[in-house]
């Protein structure tokens, strides 16, 4: 069993954004095993975040990003539950990061639920035509179609896009981690991307 020092607790807190008491408890539970303690805190944080995701988020702020050269700019409204959290550096950084992400990744909608049925039907039709003469069985074609649609959603829906600053995580996972660390529900309400010369 590793000794549970203040330094170890501090390292765990920095790695997980969890509270001091939670870190100490996780280290005690895992007999000082750092990696296992991280895993426990992440699971706990994600479970807590899932519970918080249904709460009202009526505060927040508008994050902005203007690309060098001032030809492209983005505004993103990010909501949380309290003005106190909206004023934290972590929340403000999140809003800026999301604005920068929208500028670079050009999502069209926030989530799958926001995509008009006509747009989905049009994509389905295009993919179906592409595979019309493939000779594959109908059930196989359906699975391929679903896969192509999933890929399309990951290109056009903000929450499903890989985060530009860390492509290993999706935007929805970034939001979940911030819900866990800030202790409030966080939602992207809307965004607007402007580009000179674009429709």
Q: What is the CATH number of the domain that holds 104?
A: 3.30.479.20
The model's pLDDT over 45-88, given as tens digits with 9 standing for 90+, comes to 655 555 555 666 678 999 999 999 999 999 999 999 888 999 99
Q: For residue 63, give its domain range.
A: 59-110+157-195
| 1 within domain boundaries | no
What pLDDT score was predicted for residue 48?
Answer: 56
Rounded to an integer, what distance in angstroms lies between the CA atom of residue 142 and that of residue 137?
Answer: 9
Place of tokens 């690309």: 67
Rounded to an integer, what distance in angstroms lies between the CA atom of residue 44 and that of residue 173?
Answer: 15
Residue among 67, 64, 59, 88 nearest 187 (CA)? 59
Name the stretches of the chain with pLDDT < 50: none
Residues 151 and 161 occupy one common structural domain: no
Rounded to an integer, what distance in angstroms lies between the CA atom of residue 81 and that of residue 87?
Answer: 12
Domain ends where: 126, 141, 156? Answer: 156
Rounded to an integer, what distance in angstroms lies between the CA atom of residue 44 and that of residue 180?
Answer: 9
């Amino acid at each position: 069993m590793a000794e549970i020092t203040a330094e170890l607790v501090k390292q765990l807190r920095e790695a997980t954004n969890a509270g001091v008491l939670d870190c100490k408890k996780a280290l005690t539970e895992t007999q000082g095993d750092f990696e296992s303690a991280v895993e426990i805190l992440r699971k706990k944080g994600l479970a807590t975040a899932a519970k918080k995701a249904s709460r009202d988020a009526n505060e927040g702020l508008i994050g902005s990003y203007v690309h060098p050269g001032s030809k492209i700019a983005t505004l993103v409204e990010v909501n949380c539950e309290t003005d106190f959290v909206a004023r934290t550096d972590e929340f403000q950084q999140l809003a800026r990061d999301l604005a920068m992400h929208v500028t670079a990744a050009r999502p069209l909608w926030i989530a799958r639920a926001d995509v008009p049925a006509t747009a989905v039907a049009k994509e389905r039709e295009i993919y179906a035509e592409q595979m019309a003469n493939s000779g594959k069985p109908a059930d196989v074609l359906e699975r391929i179609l679903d896969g192509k649609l999933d890929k399309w959603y990951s290109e056009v829906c903000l929450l499903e896009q890989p985060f530009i600053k860390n492509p290993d995580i999706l935007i929805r996972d970034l939001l979940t981690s911030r819900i866990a660390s800030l202790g409030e529900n966080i939602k992207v309400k809307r965004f607007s991307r402007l580009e000179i010369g674009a429709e």
